[in-house]
Structure 1
Amino acid sequence: MSKSRIGVIVGSNSQSSINMQLARALVKLVADKADFEFIDIGQLPLYNRDHDDALPASVIEFKDRIRNKDGILFVTPEHNRSVPALLKNALDTGSRPPKDRAWNGIAAGVIGTSGGGPATSMAQQHLRNILVFLDMPTMQQPEGFIQWKDGLIDQDGSIGPASHQFLTTWMEKFLAWVSLHAKAG
């Protein structure tokens, strides 16, 4: 049996993104169990339906990379109690025009971190609503509202001991979810 192909999309393009740090550490937990590819969304042009008949090369490449995945791991910050504009643009770009949607049927997992107690719960709920429309079966439990604090990620970029077991289990359940919802064909 071949390994699942997982795309990792981080909803921030900040050089010091704590969500990128979390994403890298999560992948390290199960790196031997799947093939992971970080998909950069920072270079996508703003979605404009005027270009639907002549998509830019960067959009075609992005959509092809998405279609080639068995699952997508979304790791997102929260901006103004919702998903960041960068992530929303990637979701819109990958779903338009309707006859050329890239997301359909790809299993998804949603997690994120911030310094506040509720972490990224509102952004994750909004993202889940969008993923329903995009026809992406999304893992519901366990939820991953991760509060960023000292020790979450250690000096080596690995998950620290306090969160190691929970996040390892979360990633294993995500990979099982992807296997359960493998696209046909």
Structure 2
Amino acid sequence: MTQSRVLALVGSLRDGAVSRQLAETAAHVAPEGVAVDVFDGLADLPFYNPDIDDPNPPIPAVAALRAATAQADALILVTPEYNGTIPAVLKNAIDWISRPYGIGAIKDKPIAVIGQSPSANGGKWAQEDTRKAVGIAGGRVVDNATLIVGGTGQKFGDEHPRNNVEVSDLIAGVVTELVAAA
């Protein structure tokens, strides 16, 4: 059986962030034959600037992100909601992997988007903005591979989301749909 590789990008840099825990949950519940790798290194990316986007010499953090994206069969983007929209760190990552435009590492990759928030809204606006940004950047958003998780504070408390059977099952469904689209 061929191993499917899914790269998870997390829109929060905070230690113990719920977004990171949801990405870890995706890795934990991935079906046999699917590896979900949570990318570490978004904090090391400079803000996208065409003046510094030069492969000679490459920026190590950018080269690592682009290589990980190119090697993945699909991506999961997990986003909290900051002021009603996508966090800068995740938007910046999308910008880097979209270049050169039209042939960037994200081109035609199946994408799942998981939004989360302590509010009942569940990060709906951030999820919508992330779907829009990654679609314009060249990714292929898989409509059946999206999820909004609201009320995270009450839902998880001090527990890791992988311990919540309902959320774990929903994330497993997202991963399954995403891999089927790849």
Normalised TM-score (structure 2): 0.86
Change (3 A) 1:16 1:4: same
Runs of 4+ in 1 over 6 A off after TM superposition: none
- Residues 1-185 of structure 1: pairs in structure 2 closer than 5 A: 1-30=1-30, 32-40=32-40, 41-53=42-54, 54=56, 55-98=58-101, 101-141=104-144, 143-147=146-150, 148-152=152-156, 155=159, 158-178=162-182
2:7 counterpart letter in structure 1: G
- Secondary structure of the equivalent of 2:142? coil
SS where residue 7 of structure 2 aligns? Answer: strand
For each residue in 1:83-122, what CA deviation from the matched residue of structure 2 results, as whole angstroms up to 9, or x when unmatched? 1000111111122333761110111100021110111110
1:48-93 deviation line (CA, Å, top 9, x unaligned): 1111234312212221111011000111111111110001111111
Matched residue type, 1:52: D
Counterpart code for 2:130: L
For 2:159 and 2:11, how far apart are their aligned partners in 1?
Answer: 23
Give the number of aligned pairs. Answer: 178
The farther-off stretch of 101-110 and 147-156 is: 147-156
Q: Which amino acid aligns with 2:12?
A: S
Q: Secondary structure at the match of 1:138?
A: strand
Amino acid paired to 1:37: D
Letter in 2 for 1:35: A
Find the aligned partners of 2:103 and 2:179 in 1 and give their Cα distance: 26
Deviation digits for residues 6-57 of structure 1 (CA, Å, limit 9, x no counterpart): 1011111101311111111222112533012111211111211111234312
Q: Which runs of no fewer than 5 residues in structure 1 stay unpaired?
A: 179-185
| Inter-partner Cα distance in structure 2 for 1:177 and 1:100 | 20
Among the aligned pairs, what percent are the same residue?
A: 25
CA distance in 2, matches of 1:144, 1:66: 21
| Structure with greater proportional strand content | 2
Q: Distance in 2 between matches of 1:36 and 1:51?
A: 30
TM-score relative to the length of structure 1: 0.85
| Counterpart contact for 1:153–1:159, Cα < 8 Å | no
CA 1:100–1:172 in structure 2 vs 1: closer, same or farther (change >3 Å)?
Answer: closer
